[in-house]
Structure 1
Amino acid sequence: MTTSVRPDLRFLFSHPAHFVACGLGSGLSRFAPGTAGTLFSWAVYSLIRPNFDEIGFLVFLLVCFVGGVLACHRTGRDLGVVDHGSIVWDEIVPFWLVLFFCPVGQFWWQTALWQTAAFLLFRIYDIFKPYPANYFDEQVKNGFGVMMDDVFAGLYTILSLAVLHFVLGRLL
């Protein structure tokens, strides 16, 4: 996935697509850039979400997805690796979708627990890439493929959270 080419700040700011695809810099992390991008997504969600109603936020995500396809494609081409490890916009946008559908607790700590579970599940699905995520990762070598494998990780996470919420609701 990654190569010996490690993007730096100069690369990050050399083109707007690089800045976006590298998660506004979070993808430059030397340790687990995908995790760093997901943590960045989680950190800024509460700053972004209040600015939109539900439909507006979904439209925002769609625009971020389409822009991400273009930005990830350009950045992957410029780095010489379609899904370079520093490209993390594909983690950021789907995780915003996960947080949007994440259960909300009565107390802040309950919401934090659900979001922590969402983070862990998303990272697991992103790493192991169950079908069809693996198809997009292995066969669709462009910005769309880069974004879609993480969209499926997000959808699996949302489904898992819904099942957990249902089961726990029955047990408690």
Structure 2
Amino acid sequence: MKKWLKVLLAADFFLLLSMGMIIPIYAIFVEKIGGDVLAASGAWAVFTFTSGILIWLFGLWGDKVKHLEKMIFFGYLIRSFAFLGYFFVSNQYHLFFVQTVLGVGVAASLPAYDGLYSRMLSKGKFASEWGTWEGMNLIVAAIAAIIGGTIAKYLGFKTLFIIMFVSGLIGALISLFLMSKKAQKEIKSK
């Protein structure tokens, strides 16, 4: 596995960790801000609809962009600030706004991530290197679910959201290494 692919995986690890900490307990958070099942499902629909439409548009744009790593960085940064946005949510309308911002961040980063990841795969290792990402995704989700539930139970959701923000920010900062001249040279030589 190439060095820069490992950097990309490391950056994504922290974003997956952040997302994974809230997803299993998301409905409980919505209930705590006065929402119900419809508010939880509605807010999730806002996120997925926003992501779905914009992923398609960002994907089209990503095919024309010279530096996918910049899209990844900015997408990760937007997602990190959306995680912080949960800290300030006090009603379902605030939540809908945060879910929209999160959807934009996910849409900005996912097609770029997939494109860059695909570009950096080692010849003859496509299945195993995609398998590395898929396995990491699920293992991190499992660990994050336990961490998120534990933090929310013992320290509260506000603490959880700060930790999610910091974790996301770490991932965004790691992705900056992909913009170095050395990384650019090695990525482009593929």
User: What TM-score do you get using the length of structure 1 for normalisation?
Assistant: 0.41
TM-score by length of 2: 0.38
Please tell me whether Structure 1 or Structure 2 has the larger radius of gyration of its CA atoms.
2
